[in-house]
Amino acid sequence: MHVITKIEAPDDSRLLFCSDIHGELTFLLKSLDSLGFIKGKDTLVHAGDLIDRGTESFKTARFFCNDNSGSFFSVLGNHDMFAIHQNFDLWFLNGGRWIIDELPTHEDKTLFGEMIKKLPLIIEVQHKDSLIGVTHACVPYEFENWQDFVEYTVNNHNIGLVEEITWQREFIEYKDNPFYNNSTVLGVDFTVHGHTVVKEPTFVANRLHIDTGLVYGKYLTITELVDGEFVFHKFHKE
């Protein structure tokens, strides 16, 4: 499994983040177009869950996995992991029945899983003076320092740790607990996550959660890093 991708976004480019697109590529690209996003110059980092529940799962995954422009990146989400492990009972219960029509053969499903394996668990992006870490669900609470987390995960990406990174909800579910609000990840300016739906983009210490429930009839958040701070753009489906 590919663990980390490191990105250096040029100073004269824009850096944006979103999460949990779940197969809604056309809507994402339309939203980016309205922001004046320039493919090949600007950078979008997606915090996982490219597939399931939406209308264009295969198209969305293929777009990110095969991007040659240098503009589109994504970490693995728990739904993306379904495509790797191919536990079909669990996958079907979580919005994966689209594969019956779009990936009908065993070979189709296997090749799709191999394509998804190109995605990393972690993305680290440097832009101007800011360092941002991205995982799908969290940086597990046992790691206080970003570099310690990265180093350990590179060397010990066991099943338990991978499940924490892609499934854990504690930080956002217990965000009002002082333990979690004091849980700054050292060695990085911010971390960005999706996975757990929030009413609006939410900080827990320096951990930013941005899944605002697009596929549940809510809205897509695209957040942009501007001069070391986040600016939030909201997009509702008509």
The verdict on pTM exceeding 0.75 is yes
End-to-end CA distance of the chain: 38
- pLDDT, tens only, 91-139: 999 999 999 999 999 999 999 999 999 999 999 999 999 999 999 999 9
Pairing label, strands 130-134, 190-193: parallel
Per-position b or e across 181-203, b if 16+ CB within 10 A of its CB = eebebeebbbbbbbbbebeebbe
Cα distances (angstroms) measured from residue 60 to each of 63, 113, 174, 207 = 5, 14, 32, 26
Asked whether the beta carbons of 168 and 157 are under 8 A apart, the reply is: no
Model confidence at 80: pLDDT above 90: yes
